[in-house]
Amino acid sequence: MKWIGWVLLMAGLAGAQEKKVPKVVPVPPLPPISREAPKPPPEPTSPPAQTVQDERTHVLFHLPTGWNVSRRDGELSTFRLDARSAPARSDLRVAASLNFNPFPRSTFSGAMLYLSVVSKSSAAACTAETTAKPEKPLPAAVVGDVKFSRGKDEHGHICTVSRDVAYTAMRGGSCVRFDMAVNSFCGAEVSGAEDLTEAQLGSLFKRMEGILGTVEFRGK
């Protein structure tokens, strides 16, 4: 009888141990990692497209949808910081700012198109704005049937945070100037943002070149 009791006890213990074994639940496989590039945000629907005209320089151009306009520096822009080679007596006439970020995962912080003028300038002084330091001379370009000198300026203490392409030409004794500026911020390693790529920079400048392609000079 003792033997039978011992057998029953051991069987009970074995059954109890079997009940304590956790049930294995299969883990569903992780979804595949998408290799597709993130889709760009939709283009804005405001502000609406508009025509901008400046009476002093006799310049007219068209802005597509999504650009803000100001006639004074400081409202949308930092002209003196972006256009470093512009003379101190330059008169800012128009500042247009892209009002959305086409690359939200990047370090992009702004794109600006400026129109300014220096009265009673000389051809040599006008050209020097795009050739003297810190400007890097670029091939000339035609804007509104007028040949413009061009220069490129980049600066930043740790990384490149400002890129400006300046256009200058004499019109009626004054030096007319356009600036296309693209700004970004440093610290991508800390913020997790991605540095602007050359392709992204190229697309931003293409936007502004498209605006310059609409320039007309009305009068002298």
Structure tokens at 111: 């794109």
State yes or no: pLDDT of 125 exceeds 80: yes
Angle among Cα 56, 61, 62 to the nearest 5 degrees reads 145
CATH no. of 50-217: 2.60.120.1690
State yes or no: pLDDT of 52 exceeds 60: yes
d(CA 30, CA 21): 27
pLDDT tens-digit profile of 149-190?
999 999 876 777 899 999 999 999 999 999 999 999 887 666
Using the 8-state DSSP alphabet, how is residue 77 labeled? -
Q: Which of 130, 128, 155, 156 is nearest to 141 (CA)?
A: 130
pTM summary value: 0.79
**Sheet of 136-143, strands arranged across:** 67-70, 91-98, 108-118, 174-184, 162-171, 146-155, 136-143
Q: Which of 81, 99, 101 is nearest to 162 (CA)?
A: 81
Contact call for residues 111 and 208 (beta carbons, < 8 A)? yes
Q: Could you tell me the residue ranges of all domains in the chain?
A: 50-217
Question: What average pLDDT does the chain have?
Answer: 86
d(CA 204, CA 166): 15
pLDDT at 34: 52
